[in-house]
Structure 1
Amino acid sequence: MTTSSPAPGFLEAPFARRTWRAYGFLWIALLLAPFAFAYALLTTVLTAGLAVTVVGLFVAGALVVGGRGWGAMYRRMARSLLGVEIADPAPRRRRAGFWRRLGGSIGDATGWRAILYLLATFPLALASFVVSTVFLAVALGGASHWVWSRFLPLQEAPDGTLHRGFSVVAGDWYWFADTPARQVLLVTAGVGLFYLWPLVQAPFVALFRLLAGALLGPTTASVRVAELEATRAVVVEDADGRLRRIERDLHDGTQARLVAVAMQLGEARDLLATGTGTPEDVALAGDLVGTAHDSTKEALAELREIARGIHPPALDSGLAVALETLGARAAAPVTVDVDPAVEAGGRLSPAIESIAYYTVAELVTNVVKHARATGAYVLVQRTADGLRLRVRDDGRGGAVVVAPDGSGSRTGLAGLIDRVRAVDGTFDLSSPAGGPTVVTVLLPDQARPTLPTTTRA
């Protein structure tokens, strides 16, 4: 839940649109409160009373799911009138099977949370409207008393004198605001109350914001499940893409070379077996064997490259050695600084080491290709939270995750973010125009599962 604009100052608050929009929210909340409370009470009573029947449970389930509609309406009100952004909860999932579908309707957590909001805001809507409206009416009435008090009927004081206007009578003592000095005093008090009115209204509005964010938005667990489902899909797609690339490289490259080697060796064998034995045949067979030998070495080099793409051999000696080797082979000067605690703290899980290596490799590649930098600095640290990677370059900056041309297309950094988040890591990018670009990645010590063992509705 976020607030769209900062609160106005004390002198601006009584005239700010935000204050009056919040007051309008209290009006609408008061008008809806009786109907919302009745709906919530009906849903609760019917669910409890019809629990012994089957047909009645469908009615109760429909009312619970209908709570989502109430929640959506109050979220729109909060966005437009209270200036808070509340994310929509996850859509309801259709379950297969009669009893699962019935249980999913009655046990819909989003619907029940919305119904709880309807119950909780009923007394709040009454109290907030009464307090705010009475305070505002007294403030405006006092500030304008000098205008409308002349139309009030005459009142007799305890001593028999007649007065007109606001009065306070206690036994034989009385006070009437019917003199210029007293009128000024009452106007001053009214103006003061008018400036205090936003402060009196603010706690009630804050409670509405708090309840709306807590009960009408998605829960932390549901947001986490959605993130894990998204990252799982990305990981599955990434793994499928890697397998397809490996298959294509093997089929179009290595396999084709090995087929050529087999054909060249077959021709050489035929020449030696059926040829006349002339020096020309022997030389031709030798050339074929030499070509096959060269093709075999090229195929082995391609296989090593494919294997390196699956798992860098340098990682067998540890992450520190792998990153230092990566920096030494980079096309631009790269300084790699690995904290000794990285190795002293024990080996990380293979998945984390692999993600760390490929993340740094991709960032260094971006520095060489896009940053126009003279060099890069890589810092690797072991912290209490996990493994921290920081890659800094002195290039032109302006790196983004999504293209700024409005197309919404993702840059290469988006894939890195998805891979890091798949293991519950964080990715922070700072790249102002003109540089420098600093990328900070925090990875856990161990790879965590991308999905919980159970899926909530």
Structure 2
Amino acid sequence: MTATMTSTTTPAAAGPPFLLAPFDRRTWRAYGYLWVAVLVAPFALAYALFTLALTAGIAVTVVGLFVAGGVLLGTRGWGSMYRRMARRLLGVDVAAPFPRSPRRGFWRRLGSMLGDATAWRALLYMVVTFPLALVGFVVSTVLLAVAAGSMTHWLWSQWLPLQRASDGTLHRGASFGTDWFVDTPSRQLMLMAAGVILLYLWPQVQRIFVTLFALLAASLLGPTRASMRVADVERARAVTVEDADARLRRIERDLHDGTQAHLVAVAMQIGEARELVRDGADPAELAAVLETAHSSTKDTLAELRELARGIRPPALDAGLSVALETLAARAALPVRVHAVGLDSADLPASVTAISYFAVAELVANATRHASASGVDVVAGIEPLAEGRGPAGRALVLRVHDDGVGGARVRAPDSSGRGSGLAGLTDRLSGVDGTLRVVSPAGGPTVVTVTIPLNLSDGQ
């Protein structure tokens, strides 16, 4: 039940050890990135300026704006190229933005082309990175060249032309000022030491520029937060629809195979009793048939109550705290509930329901898969760490079991196995909820469900 933690690796975080940095392959790949960036930058800038000029110059024709819109959408291709460069040379994986959805109608189609945020952000990247590519390449190359020249000066300085100092003496070697020449063993060693220092300084300075490239790529070439939010909502909505459809199918199957069959049996038993009454049968025999019909009716009512409880537990009407206590009492293993401040909290019905079913799912997982001897459920209202919204409150549920641990959130396979927690994560995203799981091998497992209340209740 552990959610896999993912993070974007930046060059600064993934840098090689200091002593090995000048010789590490990642350093030289980053230098290669600066080479490619400075070669591509003039063409990218020219394309960006051409796009702006074409859009401004052709705007009066209106119809010609479709041409400008097509050129603008071409910046998406530039963005794709820059993302590949970052992935292959820097080891930075920038997620691709969501594909464009063309619209029907003259004005709507034109607006979708000229208003494509991904294209404009890619164009901005092409403009902003032009000076960064020039400065980064020049600074990195100069540092590397000076470092290499300083360390090898003792070798190639013998072919330098003679230079005359102010006192008339002749010297062969690099000069600093008018009378200081690197032409003695001690000065050669000093220059070589300075070259070594510059060589180790080179990767650190280069990493500054490469990190700026990576940050700009992640900010301008990836999906926007709004588009990711829309995609999450659409996925959560699809999961909710599928979940509701599956639940309806299950209810239909249970009604058909269980309740309906029992009702048919009751009808047959009542019919038999009617026949017995009409034929004047023995009262004891009639009483036995009626007793059987009565027992079948009670069983049918119990099944109907169980089905209704699966749709929406009646205990939720008394509040989440009571519902969790009821769930704990019916669990197959000991469940201890610690609810703080839930009775006074005005929780939305959607939050209460999804919280109940989330805890039910987690307790069921601990029972089936964790080999746990007990479960602790802690529920309460806490401030949001991010401080989102004016209220910044969240319903936090922590489910702790002492099982074997080592569980993970996995996408369902072809048979549908492994989809429980993944589906729960998607359902929580429908109310901006998150699922965080810590489950080392050997246990224990701690699952934290956080649902922002200010976002869920419209505050």
Same topology, TM > 0.5: yes
Query: Is 1:162–2:170 an aligned residue pair?
Result: yes
Give the structure 2 partner of residue 437 of structure 1.
445
What's the offset of the Cα at 1:285? 4.3
Which of these residues, 181, 186, 189, is aligned with residue 181 of structure 1? 186
Instruction: State the one-letter code of the partner of 1:417.
Output: T
- Give the secondary-structure state (helix, strand or coil) at the position aligned to 1:354: helix
Structure 1 residue 24 displacement after superposition: 0.8
For 2:26 and 2:78, the matched residues in 1 are separated by 23
Match of 2:199 in 1: 194
Deviates more, 1:21-30 or 1:196-205: 196-205
C-alpha separation between the residues in 1 aligned to 2:319 and 2:131?
A: 63
Q: Does the 8 A contact of 1:234 with 1:418 survive in 2?
A: yes
Is 1:325 matched with 2:326? yes
Query: In the alignment, is the contact (CA less than 8 A) between 1:359 and 1:416 conserved in 2?
Result: yes
Query: Which stretch shows the higher mean deviation, 253-262 or 189-198?
Result: 253-262
Corresponding position of 2:389: none
Q: Could you say what secondary structure the match of 1:381 adopts?
A: strand
Shift of the 192–292 alpha-carbon distance from structure 1 to 2, 3 Å rule, reads: same
Is 1:114 paired with 2:122? Answer: yes
Q: Distance in 1 between matches of 2:413 and 2:234?
A: 28
Match of 1:86, SS state, is coil
**AA matched with 1:3:** T
SS for the counterpart of 2:19 is coil
TM-score under structure 1 length normalisation:
0.90
Q: Secondary structure at the match of 2:104?
A: coil
1:94, CA displacement in angstroms? 2.2
**Residue 342 and residue 110 in structure 1: after superposition, are their counterparts in 2 closer, same or farther (change >3 A)?**
same
Moved more, 414-423 or 209-218: 414-423
Residue of structure 1 aligned with 2:40, choices 28, 32, 53: 32
In structure 1, give the amino acid aligned to 2:156: W
Pairing 1:332-351 to 2, within 5 Å after superposition: 332-339=333-340, 341-344=341-344, 346-351=345-350
Q: TM-score, normalised by structure 2?
A: 0.90
Cα shift at 1:145 = 0.9
Corresponding residue for residue 371 of structure 1: 370
* CA displacement at 1:405 relative to structure 2: 9.8
Tell me the amino acid that sits aligned with residue 370 of structure 2.
Answer: A
Q: 1:402 touches 1:408 (CA, 8 Å); kept in 2?
A: no
Q: 1:288, 1:147 → 2: CA distance?
A: 113
**Which residue of structure 2 lines up, in the alignment, with residue 402 of structure 1?**
410
Structure 1 stretch displaced more, 81-90 or 229-238: 81-90
Cα distance, 1:222 vs structure 2: 1.5
Find the aligned partners of 1:408 and 1:201 in 2 and give their Cα distance: 48
> Closer, same or farther in 2 for the Cα pair 1:328/1:45, shift >3 Å?
same
Once residues 303 and 120 of structure 1 are traced to their aligned partners in structure 2, the CA distance between those partners, rounded to angstroms, is: 66
Unaligned runs of 5+ in 2: 1-7, 384-392
State how far apart, in whole Å, the 2-side matches of 1:447 and 1:185 are. 64
Q: Which residue of 1 aligns with 2:65?
A: 57
Q: CA deviation at 1:159?
A: 4.1
Q: Given that residues 351 and 447 in structure 1 are in contact (C-alpha distance below 8 angstroms), is that contact kept between their aligned partners in structure 2?
A: no
Query: Is the deviation greater in 245-254 or in 144-153?
Result: 245-254
SS of aligned partner of 2:443: coil
Shift, 1:83, TM fit: 2.2
Q: How far apart are residue 150 of structure 1 and its match?
A: 1.3
Report if aligned partners of 2:411, 2:422 keep a CA contact under 8 Å in 1: no
Deviation for aligned residue 1:23: 1.0
| Letter in structure 2 aligned against 1:342 | L
Q: Is 1:272 aligned with 2:277?
A: yes
Corresponding letter in the other structure for 1:251: H
CA distance in 2, matches of 1:272, 1:196: 105
User: In angstroms, what is the RMSD of aligned CA positions?
Assistant: 2.4
Contact 1:400 1:411 in 2 (8 A): no
| Residue in structure 1 matching 2:9, options 2, 7, 31 | 2
Q: More displaced, 426-435 or 360-369?
A: 360-369
Q: 1:292–1:404: structure 2 CA closer, same or farther, 3 Å change rule?
A: closer
User: How far apart, CA to CA, are the structure 2 residues paired with 1:165 and 1:301?
Assistant: 101
Contact 1:403/1:410 (8 A) holds in 2 = yes
Bigger shift: residues 349-358 or 115-124: 349-358
Letter of the 2:314 counterpart: P
Report how far residue 237 of structure 1 moved. Answer: 0.9
Q: What's 1:358 paired with? A: 357
Alpha-carbon distance in structure 2 between the residues aligned to 1:193 and 1:447: 53
- Aligned 1:33-48 pairs, distance under 5 A: 33-48=41-56
Letter in 2 for 1:211: L
Aligned-partner SS, 1:302: helix
Distance in structure 2 (CA, Å) of the matches to 1:408 and 1:163: 82
| CA-to-aligned-CA distance 1:246-301 (integer Å, 9 cap, x gap) | 2222233222322332333234324433x2x243xx55544443332222212111
In 2: Cα distance, 1:292 partner to 1:97 partner: 66
Q: Which runs of 5+ in 1 are unaligned?
A: 451-457
- Sort the Cα spacing of 1:199 and 1:446 in 2 relative to 1 into closer, same or farther, 3 A: closer
Matched-pair identity in %: 63
* Distance of 1:107 and 1:152 partners within structure 2: 60
Distance 1:434 1:55 in 2: 67
State how far apart, in whole Å, the 2-side matches of 1:406 and 1:162 are: 83
Determine helix, strand or coil for the equivalent of 1:51: helix
Q: How many angstroms apart in 1 are the aligned matches of 2:149 and 2:454?
A: 67
Alpha-carbon distance in 1 for matches of 2:445, 2:137: 51
Instruction: Confirm or deny that 1:261 pairs with 2:263.
Output: no
SS at match of 1:343: coil
Q: Report whether the alignment pairs 1:209 with 2:214.
A: yes
Aligned equivalent of 1:125: 133
**CA shift for structure 1 position 125:** 1.0
* 2:89 partner letter: L
Q: Which has the higher contact order (CA 8 A, sep 6+)?
A: 2
Count of residue pairs brought into register by the alignment: 441
Asked if the contact 1:267–1:288 (Cα under 8 Å) also holds between the matched residues in 2, the reply is yes
Pair 355,72 (structure 1): closer, same or farther in 2 beyond 3 Å: same
Q: Which stretch has the larger CA shift, 427-436 or 252-261?
A: 252-261
3-state SS of 1:50 partner: helix
The residue aligned with 2:311 is 310
Are 2:348 and 2:457, in contact at CA under 8 Å, matched by a contact in 1?
Answer: no
Q: Which amino acid aligns with 1:353?
A: T
